[in-house]
């Protein structure tokens, strides 16, 4: 409970500092701070299009944050969630465009299952290298992201190209489309899938023996071995779950938002998800709130850039500052100690 309170205090303090810095920058650019932040908030929540866009941004950030958090449970930092997302996306796009004769429920399910399998298979590579050969997973996953990016670009510009102006695959069939709501936004019912997956993961890691085995394998693999847990297998399973969630995120983006695989559509979505998980200290219960907050900032930034002279990159910078401040736990300990010493000096004077 104490850890939760400390995290809340850290996040609140970081948020305040980030917005103070943002206010200084906005004022320096000649804009009214209250007007800009008002536009930022209304741009995220005012009307179907804007709120729908916030929900659209939320789903992939939410899922990729969960994917990274799950990998940390087995003491492996899966920086390669982006690769799973890209490969899962193109797998879903190809399935949605070329598999015919299925009803919507079966077509959507098949496309998402294939995206999940492909995403998990991609995560298996760094997992087996880490577990069997003790190869540094951060190096492997970062490099594999480039492999996934260039491989999908080859597919989208070659065998599965739609031969149109922008490099993309053929448009998926209507039977593979995930329905949308809050028209004219691209918010879609993939958010329900994301929420269901979240509660399943939360239940597994907090209520089941299986989740305990996975977590304990990451915390202390030697102890797990002595109590009869196959820690190597559990850690690999944890990475497979992580990659599967990343692949699912890519599949939902294709089937629910774009309707095809568009080259460059992700723009490092999974890295943002990873940062969200780090802000939450990889705590699954904190991830939804922080993911929604970041999604709202990104959505509101579109309106801010449209109606003010403040570029969208300013919000990206504030998010980066926010993340940096949250990660610097030492700052809060220094401030806390300063306050304590000040109180002690005042009490000594009395």
pLDDT tens digits for 328-346? Answer: 665 556 666 667 776 766 7
- The mean per-residue pLDDT over the stretch 287-314 comes to 87
Is residue 290's pLDDT more than 70?
A: yes
Query: End-to-end distance of the chain based on CA atoms, in angstroms?
Result: 34
Rounded CA gap, 30 and 317, in Å?
Answer: 18
Mean residue pLDDT across the chain: 88
Domain range annotation of the chain: 60-290
Would you state the pLDDT for residue 251? 97
Would you state the pLDDT for residue 254? 97
pLDDT tens digits, residue range 32-66? 888 888 988 898 898 899 999 999 999 999 999 99
Tokens 């709130």 sit on residue: 289
Would you state the pLDDT for residue 4? 44
Rounded CA gap, 198 and 223, in Å?
Answer: 29
| Cα-based distances in Å from 159 to 69, 87, 97, 122, 264 | 35, 15, 13, 21, 17
pLDDT band of residue 156 (cuts 50, 70, 90) is very high
Would you state the pLDDT for residue 296? 92
Residue 252 has, within 13 A of its CA and on its CB side, a CA count of 28
Rounded CA gap, 255 and 223, in Å?
Answer: 43
Would you state the pLDDT for residue 318? 79
Helices (H) and strands (E) in the chain, counts: 14, 0
Q: Do residues 57 and 295 make contact, with C-beta atoms less than 8 angstroms apart?
A: yes
CB atoms within 10 A of CB 333: 11
């Amino acid at each position: 409970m104490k850890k939760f309170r400390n995290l809340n205090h850290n996040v609140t303090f970081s948020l305040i500092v980030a917005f103070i810095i943002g206010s200084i920058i906005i004022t320096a650019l000649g804009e009214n701070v209250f007007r800009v932040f008002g536009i930022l908030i209304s741009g995220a929540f005012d009307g179907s299009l804007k709120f729908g866009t916030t929900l659209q941004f939320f789903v992939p950030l939410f899922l990729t944050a969960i994917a990274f958090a799950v990998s940390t449970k087995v003491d492996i930092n899966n920086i390669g969630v982006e690769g799973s997302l890209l490969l899962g996306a193109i797998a879903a796009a190809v399935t949605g465009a070329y598999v015919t004769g299925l009803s919507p429920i079966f077509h959507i399910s098949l496309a998402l299952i294939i995206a999940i399998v492909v995403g998990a298979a991609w995560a298996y590579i760094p997992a087996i290298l880490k577990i069997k050969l003790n190869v540094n997973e951060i190096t492997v996953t970062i490099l594999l992201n480039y492999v996934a990016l260039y491989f999908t670009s080859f597919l989208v510009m070659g065998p599965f190209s739609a031969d149109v102006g922008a490099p993309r695959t053929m448009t998926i069939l209507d039977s593979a489309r995930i329905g949308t709501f809050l028209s004219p936004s691209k918010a879609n019912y993939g958010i329900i899938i994301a929420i269901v997956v979240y509660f399943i993961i939360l239940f597994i890691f907090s209520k089941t023996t299986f989740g305990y085995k996975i977590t304990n394998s990451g915390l202390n693999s030697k102890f797990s071995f002595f109590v009869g847990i196959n820690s190597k297998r559990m850690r690999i399973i944890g990475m497979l779950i992580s990659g599967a969630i990343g692949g699912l995120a890519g599949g939902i983006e294709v089937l629910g938002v774009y309707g095809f695989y568009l080259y460059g559509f992700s723009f490092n979505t999974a890295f943002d998800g990873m940062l969200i998980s780090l802000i939450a200290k990889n705590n699954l219960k904190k991830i939804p709130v922080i993911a929604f907050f970041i999604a709202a900032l990104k959505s509101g930034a579109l309106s801010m850039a449209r109606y003010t002279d403040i570029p969208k990159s300013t919000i990206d910078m504030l998010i980066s500052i926010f993340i940096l401040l949250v990660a610097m736990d030492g700052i809060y300990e220094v401030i806390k100690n300063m306050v304590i010493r000040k109180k002690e000096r005042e009490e000594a004077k009395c």
